[in-house]
């Protein structure tokens, strides 16, 4: 986004706040200090927004609910706080497709020493694979943080230009025709930011698995092969290798020997299994360590595949810990 677009979004947020103040008949103070916008509620609750476009989005830098004065009715102020926050979320989403809360995070019961970043498919969101965590072996989940990012909303050509969450545009049923290079590269950059954030938080790159289903799996392959630090593994489900003709030139040596799990439904009507098989064969031809699994299913995930995923994750994270 350009600076002008950020200013437009900031104005839209402030207008939304003004509307909420008028509707709720309550004073909400706002302070703008450089890129930091602070909203102060009557009970001194605060929402702090960082407008710095470091990740090409606006996010909540901090949200603090301060102790309320005894004379205030907590429920009323909580309602004002929540309504305003949700209204701001809608404003950001409707103005430029930005979400203030842009991922689902499931922290491990014990100190996180590993991480799985799992990308959803077209039209879904980060909540789609959230339930899978409870189906995985405890030895995997007890020290592993799971992050399920929400893809940006974008117009999808094959769906009549409908706005939905997607990692890139799809133009035709032929997935290799007119591929969305710009969208794919942008999503790669977003995933690189997630990887960098986890590394900054103390998790080594070779303790991070990049996973995805359908479109998310395509981005996991695309971003994982090009990432400049070694990963624990790449998990690609019901998917294919996008922009295959650029892999040789763009792939990074750091992940030349990274283990790859590819699982696909033999009766997949969305991404036919032949696309997955062809991608697997091509990667193996290039020397990548690809483990192929085919299941009697369509474009979905079944229990036997989850069992295989659990075993593979356990092996990858244990190996990378050594």
Q: 214, 238, 279, 320: which is the annotated catalytic residue?
A: 214
Q: Active site includes 299? A: yes
Exactly one of 169, 238, 268, 279 is catalytic; name it: 268
Residues forming a β-bridge with 62 = 48
**Identical fold at 3-96 and 103-321?**
no
Q: State yes or no: is 268 an active-site residue.
A: yes
Listed as own residue / partner, the contacts of 65-72 with beta carbons closer than 8 Å and 24 or more positions apart are: 68/43, 69/43, 72/42, 72/43
Domain spans of the chain, in order of start: 3-96, 103-321
The pLDDT of residue 124 is: 92
CATH class, 3-96 region? alpha beta
Neighbours of 52 (CB within 10 A): 13
Query: What pLDDT score was predicted for residue 80?
Result: 46
What integer pLDDT is reported at residue 287 of this predicted model? 97
Q: What is the pLDDT of residue 232?
A: 97
Domain 103-321, CATH: 3.40.50.1820
Tens-digit pLDDT profile for the chain (322 aa)? Answer: 455 555 555 555 556 555 655 555 556 666 666 656 666 666 565 655 554 433 233 333 323 333 333 233 334 444 444 445 555 555 545 544 444 447 888 999 999 999 999 999 999 999 899 999 999 999 999 999 999 999 988 899 999 999 899 999 999 888 877 899 999 999 999 999 899 989 999 999 999 999 999 999 999 999 999 999 999 999 999 999 999 999 999 999 999 999 999 999 999 999 999 999 999 999 999 999 999 999 999 999 999 999 999 999 999 997 544 4
C-alpha closest to that of 222 among 206, 243, 248: 243
What was the pLDDT predicted at 173? 84
What's the count of helices (H) and strands (E) in the chain, helices before strands?
Answer: 8, 13
Residue 234 near residue 195 (C-beta atoms within 8 A): no
Q: Looking at the whole model, is its pTM more than 0.85?
A: no
Among candidate residues 87, 293, 299, 308, the one labeled active-site is 299
Given this model, what pLDDT does residue 272 score? 96
């Amino acid at each position: 986004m350009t600076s002008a677009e950020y200013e437009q979004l900031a104005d839209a947020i402030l207008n939304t706040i003004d509307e909420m103040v008028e509707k709720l008949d309550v004073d909400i103070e706002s302070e703008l200090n450089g890129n930091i916008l602070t909203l102060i509620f009557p009970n001194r609750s605060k929402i702090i927004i960082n407008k710095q476009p470091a990740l090409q989005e606006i996010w909540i830098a901090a949200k603090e609910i301060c102790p309320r004065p005894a004379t205030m009715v907590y429920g009323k102020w909580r309602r004002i706080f929540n309504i305003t926050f949700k209204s701001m979320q809608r404003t950001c989403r409707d103005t430029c497709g930005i979400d203030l809360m842009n991922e689902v995070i499931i922290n491990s019961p014990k100190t996180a020493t590993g991480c799985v970043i799992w990308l959803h498919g077209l039209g879904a969101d980060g909540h789609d694979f959230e339930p899978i965590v409870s189906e995985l072996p405890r030895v995997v989940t007890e020290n592993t943080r799971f992050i399920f990012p929400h893809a940006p909303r974008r117009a999808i050509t094959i769906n009549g230009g409908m706005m939905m969450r997607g990692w890139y545009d799809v133009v035709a049923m032929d997935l290799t025709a007119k591929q969305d290079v710009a969208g794919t590269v942008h999503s790669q950059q977003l995933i690189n930011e997630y990887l960098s954030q986890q590394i900054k938080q103390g998790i080594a790159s070779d303790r991070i698995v990049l996973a995805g289903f359908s479109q998310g799996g395509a981005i996991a392959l695309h971003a994982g092969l090009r990432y400049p630090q070694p990963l624990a593994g790449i998990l690609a489900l019901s998917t294919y290798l996008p922009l295959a003709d650029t892999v040789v030139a763009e792939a990074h040596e750091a992940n030349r020997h990274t283990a790859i799990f590819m699982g696909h439904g033999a009766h997949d009507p969305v991404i036919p299994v032949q696309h997955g098989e062809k991608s697997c064969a091509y990667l193996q031809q290039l020397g990548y360590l690809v483990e192929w699994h085919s299941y009697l299913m369509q474009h979905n995930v079944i229990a036997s595949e989850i069992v295989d995923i659990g075993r593979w994750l356990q092996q990858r994270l244990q190996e990378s810990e050594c």
